[in-house]
Amino acid sequence: MTGQVPLWADVLISALALSGAAFTLIGAWGLAKLGDFGKRLHGPTKASTLGVGCVLIASMLWFALAGTPSLHELLITVFLFFTAPLSAHLLIKAAMKLDTTLRPPPPPR
């Protein structure tokens, strides 16, 4: 390591890493405890995406402030934020096609 990270950055990085871990834990808990497919899909795609994003941003900040910037974390974060909602959308569309009880009722005329 070439540089010393300031105290404010350590606090910010720690807060991002801890909040990311908390969001990821909440997403895992939602996957394990929620009832049907739609609810189980909603928990991990929202909370875990935010959790992993916070951890990756914390890692990106730490490496940038320590003197060895890396764009790998930024690319992973962008890829994750684009692919997680799309894959969840495709999964729920496939589930609604296979199980008609998951479809919402038609609007009243």
Q: Got the DSSP string for the chain?
A: --SPPPHHHHHHHHHHHHHHHHHHHHHHHHHHH--SHHHHHHHIIIIIHHHHHHHHHHHHHHHHHHT---SHHHHHHHHHHHHHHHHHHHHHHHHHHH-GGGSPPPPP-
> Is the pTM of the predicted complex or chain greater than 0.85?
no
pLDDT in tens, 23-71: 999 988 888 888 888 888 887 788 888 898 899 999 999 988 888 888 8
